[in-house]
Chains A and B, each alone.
Chain A
Amino acid sequence: MSENPLAFMMGGSPSDQIVPPKGNATWLTGTASGAMAFIAVFALTLSLALGHLADYWSLDLAQSATVQIVAEGEALDLQTEAALQVLRTTPGVASAEIISDASQIELLTPWLGEGISTDTLPLPRLINVQIADTGLDGESLLLRLKAEAPDASYNDHSFWRAPILEASNRLRLMVAVSLGLTALITVIIVVLSANTALASNQGIIRTLRLLGARDSYIAQAFVRRITLRATFGAGVGMILALIAVLFFPSQPQTSGLLSGLELRGLDWVYPLVVPVLVGISAFVASRMAAHYHLRREI
């Protein structure tokens, strides 16, 4: 077997001539590798895009908080003013603004329907807090709020962020399992096609043995062909998958759940690894299959 993998891939090995150029096994290898690479690139892209989406949602929620004051009459206004004072003097708070009743009704309309009246539905006073990049000391803020506005509560949105992060991590795990299964299926297909190629060329192998060919020489002819077909097929599959990725929804300009499924910057490099990995897997798997097959006979 060639010691230099690059020479193995690039060089026109003399052993190339001994295997007939046509065969179902090579066609099968190329097509199956292409399909597997398409799935792998798609899964990889989905994983990366989900990561970005989760980061986006998590970051968005982490940089805001809500103060809620449940009181009535004059107490509500006094505690609101006190809470705003506390917030505006707290390091790490970028801004603190009261969410108007109109805005609250607008947010509730999709859930409760039109015609909501503050006369029939008492609304708490909500203050939207934007947190600076430096972050803030939530516990200290809570203590000060309790002292100045006893009916105020502070929500840093961690309740919402946790399930998003958990869902994101689970999806990534599923994608990793999918990639692993795809790799396993690719290896199985390569081994099967290597065995098919060897079996369908048994006459040639027998002749080569009688002429004094080493196992490594015979194997090289089959391994090189299968590896090149698998790599080429995977390359085509990767390109098709990347074209499909271009049609993903792009920037998360809306708050839709699937917005922002796209590759960014260096993300585009990762799919390029797939054909290389398929090629390496095909080389190792077909080499092992060929040597196992050839060693069964003298």
Chain B
Amino acid sequence: MILLNNAGFSYGPRAILENVNQELAAGSFHFLTGPSGAGKTTFLKMCYLSLMPDSGSLKIFDQEVSELSREQITQMRRRVGVVHQDCQFLNHLTVRQNIALPLLVAGKNIEDSMENIEDLLAWVDMGDRADAFPEELSGGERQRLALARAVIMDPEMIVADEPTGNVDWEMGQRLLTLLVELNKMGKTILLATHDLNLIRSIKGRVPAKVLRLKGGNLSLAGAQL
């Protein structure tokens, strides 16, 4: 699914990631941890093709990203669902329209997907908030909306950047449960968090691994959960 070989990334003279070697297999569940500023978001951005490594190699879906055309990058982004901590919605669109947005930009007929959209709204328990605008939502609702939007295109991988950072424990668990469900459906999950309790709470639900990012280096932390 994702294969990094001596991959690195720098912001000017400051190296964020150095010689990262890691493989994320299809259908796996990985947590990504590390202190603030360690480069978690940079690593995730490379995984959803918002940044390109400036050294080494990164393969996503068995394709070397440095060799991709703009069109191929666009197509590949549609195979990766992204959930941000700050969600990044279009605030002038309703919840339902935001969920439909990936379909819209892909040129798909929204009418044909209405049933799917309603199912997703029910899945994230937001059926009664479909016509609300993002700014009217609570933190937990926003994260569930972001997750619904991330999966509408039936992506092969979900990348989530601190999705539980702004919600309480109960809501964090609800989100984790949704991600576990997706993983059981065969989706590859990469979830960045610094919440160790959240990581521990997955034990026994799905086999998950923890990646630790520190000092620009990525390593597998401890045994499989």
Q: Name A's B-contacting residues (CB within 8 A).
A: 14-15, 17-18, 20-21, 203-204, 206-215, 217, 298
Contact among A18, A210, A215 with B90 in the assembled complex (CB-CB below 8 Å)? A18
Asked if residues B74 and A213 are in contact (CB atoms below 8 Å), the reply is yes
In chain B, residues 90-124, which have Cβ atoms closer than 8 Å to a Cβ of chain A? 90-93, 97, 101-102, 104-107
A-B contact pairs, 10 of them (CB 8 A): A17-B97, A18-B101, A20-B91, A20-B92, A209-B50, A210-B48, A210-B88, A212-B78, A214-B74, A298-B52
A207/B102 in contact, CB under 8 A: no
Instruction: List the 8 closest pairs (A to B, CB-CB), nearest first.
Output: A212-B78, A213-B105, A212-B77, A207-B88, A211-B102, A20-B92, A210-B82, A214-B74
For residue B135, give the distance in angstroms from its CB to the closest CB of chain A: 13
Instruction: Report yes or no: B52 in contact with A212, Cβ–Cβ below 8 A.
Output: no
CB distance from A23 to the nearest CB of B (A): 11
The contact of B50 among A14, A208, A214, A298, by CB within 8 Å, is A298
Interface core residue of B70, B74, B97, B106 (most chain A CB under 10 Å): B74
Find chain B residues with CB under 8 A from A14 CB.
104
Do residues A214 and B71 form an inter-chain contact, with CB atoms below 8 A? Answer: yes
Cβ-defined contact, A210 with B77, below 8 A: yes
Interface residues of B in 43-78 (CB under 8 A from A): 48-52, 70-71, 73-75, 77-78
Contact call A217/B105, Cβ cutoff below 8 A? yes
Looking at chain A's contact residues, the main secondary structure is helix
Q: A210-B82, A213-B105 are in contact. List 10 more A-B contacts (CB 8 A).
A: A17-B93, A21-B92, A207-B88, A207-B89, A211-B78, A212-B74, A212-B77, A212-B102, A212-B153, A298-B51
| In the bound complex, CA of A247 to CA of B180 (Å) | 75
**Residue in chain A with minimal CB distance to B159:** A210
Q: Most chain-B CB neighbours within 10 Å: which of A207, A209, A211, A213?
A: A211
Q: Are the CB atoms of B101 and A211 closer together than 8 Å?
A: yes
The verdict on A208 contacting B77 (CB below 8 Å), with A17-B97, A215-B70, A298-B52 known, is no
In the assembly, what is the distance between CA of A298 and CA of B97, in Å?
A: 25
* The one of B88, B92, B97, B105 that contacts A212, using a Cβ cutoff of 8 Å: B105
CA–CA, A206 and B153, complex, Å: 18
**A215 vs B77: C-alpha distance in the bound complex, in angstroms?**
13
Contact of B49 among A20, A206, A214, A298 (CB under 8 A): A298
Q: Would you call A17 and B77 a contact (CB within 8 A)?
A: no
Chain B nearest Cβ from A220, distance in angstroms: 11
Per the bound structure, the CA–CA distance linking A186 and B153 in Å amounts to 41
Residues in B neighbouring A212, C-beta threshold 8 A: 74-75, 77-78, 102, 105-106, 153
Contacting residues, chain A, for B82 (C-beta < 8 A): 210
Give Cα distance in the complex from A204 to B88, angstroms: 8
Residues 4-38 of B contacting A (Cβ, < 8 Å): none
Q: Which residues of B have CB within 8 Å of A211?
A: 77-78, 101-102, 105, 149
Which of A18, A210, A215, A298 has the most chain B CB atoms inside 10 A of its CB? A210
Contacts of B107 in A (CB 8 A): 217
Q: Within the assembled complex, what's the spacing in Å between the Cα atoms of A203 and B89?
A: 9
Nearest CB of B to A141, in Å: 78
**Residues on A with beta carbons closer than 8 Å to the beta carbon of B48:** 210
Residues of A within 8 A of B78 (CB): 211-212
Complex formed: what's the CA distance from A203 to B88 in Å? 7
Cα A70 to Cα B101 with chains together (Å): 93
Nearest CB in chain A to that of B106: its residue: A212
B153 near A207: Cβ-Cβ < 8 Å = no
Alpha-carbon distance A293/B149, docked complex (angstroms): 26
Q: How far is the CA of A18 from the CA of B88 in the complex (A)?
A: 13
* Nearest CB in chain B to that of A213: its residue: B105
Q: CA–CA, A207 to B149, complex, Å?
A: 11
Nearest CB on A from B218, distance (A): 22
Chain B residue nearest in CB terms to A295: B70
A206's partner among B88, B93, B97, B105 (CB-CB below 8 A) is B88
